[in-house]
Structure formats: structure tokens, C-alpha cells
Structure 1
Amino acid sequence: MDDNTQESATPSLFRRANRSALIVSGVVLAICAGLVTYGVLGTGGSDSRPERRAPTASVTYEVSGRGTADITFQARNEAGQATVVKAAALPWRKTVDVPLGQAPTVSITLGENGGQARCTLTIRGRYVQSATASGTFGRATCTGALPTTPATAS
């Protein structure tokens, strides 16, 4: 009978050891999940680097007329890429920030119905240029220049 007693005690020890290993594994898994969540969500604290933004100037693009026109303009994009608005209803107006050193530009193209439309460009509230497009697929472009450094208060 002594042999039977030892056999029944041995599985009990293994069960306790398995439970302990499961508990320890669960705690380690919970800690790892917490660290991953912390890393994904971030702290939003002061140790994160602030986003560098290029200085900009306020630019207003305006297209007057009737009907529609395709309008291409530059907005806040340091690479200088343009934004295109297809078949925009006229009159149309948009104020955006353009990075200093870029040349703000607005171009209009009339459709096959033609007509007449006028683009106007203002930088920091000051009129810079206007141009008129007329006729079938008529085109006009207004462009200006921005300084490479921010304006100082006067």
C-alpha cells in the first residue's frame, strides 16, 4: 500500500506546480500586455519631441465668375504640391497657410462651355495679383512670392 500512497501524492505535487507556473505565466503576460498598451498609447508627456512646423503666411485664393472651373492651388505643403478642385462652383474662395519660401499660386481652367472667370491672390490681406480666363478651356494663373523668413511685428 505504500506504493499506492506515493503514486497519489506525486500527481498532486505536479498539479500544484502546474498551477503555480500558470499563475506566474499569467502575471508575466499581463505585465507584457500593459507595457505594449503603454507603448502604443504613449504618455503624451514632455519627453516626446514636438512636431517641427515650417513658418507660414495666410494666403487667400479667390475665383469669381459664373458656372464651374477646375481650380489648382497650393496649401500648407512643404513639398510644394498643389491641391486640385475639379468643377468648383463659382464664385469660390479659400484661405490657407502656405510655407514661407514657397510661391503661392492659383490656376483656373474653364470647361468646354467656356465663359469668363477671374482669379485673385492676396497674401496676409494684401492684394497681389489677378488674372482673367475666358472662352472654351480658358486659363488664368495668379502667383505671388512669400519671404523666406517670418514677418516681424511693426
Structure 2
Amino acid sequence: MNADTADPTSGAEPAEHRPEESGARRRTLIGAVITLLLAAGGITYGVLTTSDEPETKPVPTAAVTYEVRGSGTVKIDFIAHGKHAKSLTLSGTELPWRMDVKVAVGTEPTVRIVLDGNGGDAGCALAVRGKHVQRSTATGAYGRATCSAPLPAAQNGSDNTSENSETP
């Protein structure tokens, strides 16, 4: 049978006699492909831009100053709670010593001192937002002193907000 003639039993016309039906199918197919490509692109964008890490929120901080003064050689332990809490120990430190850090609000900054076996006299001091809040004194061989204070939020709004609190 010739492709140019219609089959009288099928009731169908040859393909070249149905251009509008062929064009409609082609448009439908192209539209479906475009829709799939757009959906795939959107999903890929969403996957690539999604981070596995939760968003970090700014940590409100306040300025804290640790000080140790006196005579002798001391071991100094100090705690600074920034974005990640840190406790640092400095052994054989000569005096005077001072450290300024940003500490997370709501924590308790602390400094501890221990004199060596030769003794001496040493004192620690803790200042929060520029105001001294505690002092303590150690004397004699292996004398000890601790200074700590709670760190509440500022009442006058002077706290800094920092994502990366400075801790030595």
C-alpha cells in the first residue's frame, strides 16, 4: 500500500495530511521537556545552595579584662566563653599580666592564679565593661586566688554583638 493513499478500513489519513496534529504533538513534547528541565534546574539549585550547617546566630558579647599583678611567678588559668568556650593555662608567667577578651553574655568569666614554690604576693582582678567587679590576693608558696563574676546582659544596651567572639 502506498503511504500517500489512505487506508479506507482504518479511517486514518496519511501523516502528511495532518500537519496541525503533528505540530501540536511537537509543541506538547517541547513544552514537557522545557518543564522538566526547569524543574531539574530548580531542584539542583536548591540542593547546591542548601547548607548542611545550621545558620550561626550572632553571639552577644561584653568586654572583659583579666589582670594579675604582684611579685613572683604564677600559673594563670583563665576561662573565656566566646562562641566556643576556652580555658587556657599560662605557666611560669611573669607579672604584671593582662588579657582583654570578648566574652559571651550570660557566662561567668574566671581567672585563677597559683604562685610557684618560691612564693610571693599576687592578686587577680576582673573588669567587666571597664568596671572592676572582683579582686583577690594570693600569698606565699603555692598561694592561690580566684576572680570570677557573672556576665549579665548590659542594661544600657552597650554590649557588642559578634559572631566571632574573641577568645585568645
TM-score interval w.r.t. the shorter chain? 0.5 to 0.7
Q: Distance in 1 between matches of 2:118 and 2:63?
A: 33
2:108 counterpart of 1:103: yes
- Which protein, 1 or 2, shows the higher relative CO under an 8 Å CA cutoff with sep ≥ 6? 2
Counterpart residue type for residue 66 of structure 2: Y
Q: Distance in 2 between matches of 1:61 and 1:90?
A: 13
Q: 1:127 to 1:149 in 2, by over 3 A?
A: closer
Q: 1:90 to 1:83 in 2, by over 3 A?
A: same
2:119 counterpart of 1:114: yes
Secondary structure, in 3 states, of the residue corresponding to 1:140? strand
- TM value normalised by structure 2: 0.57
Q: Return 5+ residue gaps in structure 1 as ranges.
A: 1-48
Greater gyration radius: 2
**How big is each residue's C-alpha offset from its partner over 1:22-58, in whole Å with a ceiling of 9 and x where there is no partner?**
xxxxxxxxxxxxxxxxxxxxxxxxxxx8743311110
Q: Structure 1 residue aligned with 2:58, among 38, 49, 53?
A: 53
**How big is each residue's C-alpha offset from its partner over 1:89-125, in whole Å with a ceiling of 9 and x where there is no partner?**
1010111111111101111000011111010110000
Counterpart residue type for residue 54 of structure 1: V
Assess if the C-alpha contact under 8 Å between 1:59 and 1:122 holds in 2. yes
- What residue in structure 2 maps to residue 93 of structure 1? 98
Secondary structure, in 3 states, of the residue corresponding to 1:114? coil
Assess if the C-alpha contact under 8 Å between 1:56 and 1:150 holds in 2. no
User: Aligned residues, how many?
Assistant: 108
Q: Distance in 2 between matches of 1:102 and 1:86?
A: 25
Q: Distance in 2 between matches of 1:108 and 1:130?
A: 12
Secondary structure, in 3 states, of the residue corresponding to 1:120? strand
Deviation at 1:129, TM superposition (A): 0.6
Counterpart residue type for residue 57 of structure 1: A
- What residue in structure 1 maps to residue 140 of structure 2? 135
Counterpart residue type for residue 126 of structure 1: K
Q: Distance in 1 between matches of 2:69 and 2:146?
A: 13
Q: Structure 1 residue aligned with 2:88, among 61, 83, 87?
A: 83
- TM value normalised by structure 1: 0.62
Q: Return 5+ residue gaps in structure 2 as ranges.
A: 1-53, 159-168
The structure in which a higher percent of residues are helix is 1
Q: Structure 2 residue aligned with 1:147, among 148, 152, 164?
A: 152
* RMSD (Å), alpha carbons: 2.6
